Amino acid sequence: MPDSIDAFVILATHPTHRLAVTAELNGSQAHIARAALQAAGWTAITDTLLVLARIDHEEPYWAKQAAKRLTAEGITVEITPRLSAAMDQERTWAHHLDRGLTSGEIRARSDRAQKIHDDILHGELVIHAHAHDGHDMAAVGTYRTTRKRRSVHLRGENHLRRVTAHFASPAQAMRAFEETHAHRMHPGPAPLTYIEREAAQARSNLALPEPDKTTPPLPEPEAVPVYAADPGNHDALLDDFLDAHDTWHKWRPRDESTYAVHESQTLRIERVHEPLPGEHSWTVAGYESPVSDRMWHLAFPDTTPEPVVRTLLDSLSSGDHNLALGSPITAKTVAQAVEPLTQAGWENTIDGRCIRWASPHGGVQLDTFAAQNPYLNPTWLIWAGPNPQHATWVVHASAYTPAQVLTELVECLAPEAEREIDVPTTMRAANRTQPSVTLPAAPTAIKAPPGPSR
């Protein structure tokens, strides 16, 4: 048995990063634990707080290995239940370059990519130039700290980055790189990927100033309606959905977007991580077959509340095989779509070619002309706010969007549904007036469009 060391380490999940891990140190010999963790790649935020944030998303695994090493050295380690559950969950990259590798082999290759990332981050590997060949990112660089300098060519990003060639000098490496990428070369390293930025933020946002004892306490959380909730972390939400549903598969061919496809290949999700102003960050679509044109789609922005997005994703996992085909717009499907509002007493009004169910805090609009001309979009608008032009978030949906999906989204607007979550009062939306309503008239009959929305 090793001699006991007066050091106590608490390992926990990061407060904002989905997989990063924090280590809180206590005891007169806490510096011994800190040195061991720093040697294993942990970043010291303060003398008693460290964080492990990686680009291979294997933080829980490596935190578990660190806990074993610390315990073997005689250091007491406590692991929070949430982190313990993450450690027991086997994670692999579904779209690794080599599909035949075991999880251990994938982890070993990802760890080598992590070491390349760390060498670049700490200035041990200097990147001279980079280029994108239309499929992948390539780079050329030289190691500074080896006894005999060596230059390398790199390919890939994040957990897929790897060394593809070695050279005796930077000049040889640059000449070879220029022969292949002369028209696409850019000096210096490539811009940080989304995953690299996320890891950097996890390491930086814990470095907070000491709390001011004169600062008043934060307000207590308050229950707010779903439509007024905080957007939350949409990327983590999509990852959680994919982790929970093995019938959906993900790939990320480029840094800007992530795609998720149902195993039937008839339901697809596109997530744009940094959309341009005015663009949507989510698009969900249904297809009649894997090779057919699009039957229906809906799109919405990053400002959409987290529980609304979760509701939509849950509706896609219902197992209904007809979901990809959508629903023709008839009086019956319209009534089904807005049923939560009619039950809550919302009345419909007609404004030109549009039927609208609205209140001071949100509403639903059906464009009857677009419903009969499926190539026109959008057919449906669902929003939170006084009107679609001054809304916190708006969902645009085409004709043939499944009525059951629309119903789930519309239900988020009905305050009588009592679907509320706790958020800080600083996140409350301004418009939260409960409408005074009377029982609505029956929905206006809509003629079904002549063919599917493509």
pLDDT digits (tens, 9 = 90+) for 38-96: 999 899 999 899 999 998 888 999 999 999 999 999 999 999 998 998 888 765 454 45
Counting every residue written for the chain, the total comes to 454
Q: Which residues pair with 356 in a beta bridge?
A: 349, 365
Instruction: Please say whether the beta carbons of 364 and 357 come within 8 A.
Output: yes
For the cut 60, the answer to whether the pLDDT of residue 148 exceeds it is: no
pLDDT of residue 127 exceeding 90, the answer is yes
Query: Tens of pLDDT along 37-47?
Result: 999 989 999 98
Q: Which residue has the higher pLDDT, 102 or 146?
A: 102
Can you give the pLDDT at residue 449?
A: 36
Check pLDDT > 70 for residue 329: yes
Nearest-angstrom CA–CA distance, 425 and 223:
9
Spatial contact of 50 and 43, defined as CB atoms under 8 Å apart: yes
**Which pLDDT belongs to residue 218?**
55
Q: Whose structure tokens read 């994670």?
A: 91
Ordered by where they begin, the domains of the chain are 8-88 (3.30.70), 103-195 (no CATH), 226-427 (no CATH)
What integer pLDDT is reported at residue 423 of this predicted model? 38
pLDDT at 2: 64
Bridge partner list, 138:
131, 155
3-state secondary structure of 253: strand
Query: Which pTM was predicted?
Result: 0.50
Say what the pLDDT of residue 94 is. 45
**pLDDT of amino acid 390:** 85
448 pLDDT band, cuts 50/70/90, is: very low
Whether the Cβ atoms of residue 398 and residue 297 lie closer than 8 Å to each other:
yes
With a CB cutoff of 8 Å and minimum separation 6, the contacts of 435 are 345, 346, 359, 360, 361, 415
Report percent pLDDT > 90 for the chain.
Answer: 40
**Residue scoring higher pLDDT (227 or 17):** 227
Instruction: Extract the tokens encoding 146.
Output: 């080896």
Q: What is the per-residue pLDDT for 207? A: 53
pLDDT in tens, 154-168: 999 888 899 999 998
pLDDT tens-digit readout, 239-280: 888 888 888 998 887 778 899 999 888 999 999 988 877 789
Instruction: Determine if the peptide bond prior to 378 is cis (ω within 30°).
Output: yes
Q: Are 95 and 157 in contact (CB under 8 A)?
A: no
Confidence band of 10 (pLDDT split at 50, 70, 90):
very high
**CA distances in angstroms from 20 to 160, 299, 441, listed in the order given:** 19, 30, 53
- CA–CA dist 300, 414 (Å, integer): 19
Q: Identify the CA nearest to 191 among candidates 163, 160, 158, 159.
A: 158
pLDDT band at 427 (very low <50, low <70, confident <90, very high): very low
301, 280 contact by CB (below 8 A): yes
**What is the arithmetic mean of pLDDT over 202-230?**
65
Task: Provide the pLDDT for residue 442.
Answer: 34
Average pLDDT in the 363-372 region? 91
- Residue 267 forms beta bridges with which residues? 286
Average pLDDT over residues 323-346: 89
**H or E element in which residue 315 lies:** helix 306-316
pLDDT in tens, 165-199: 999 899 999 999 999 898 889 999 988 887 888 88
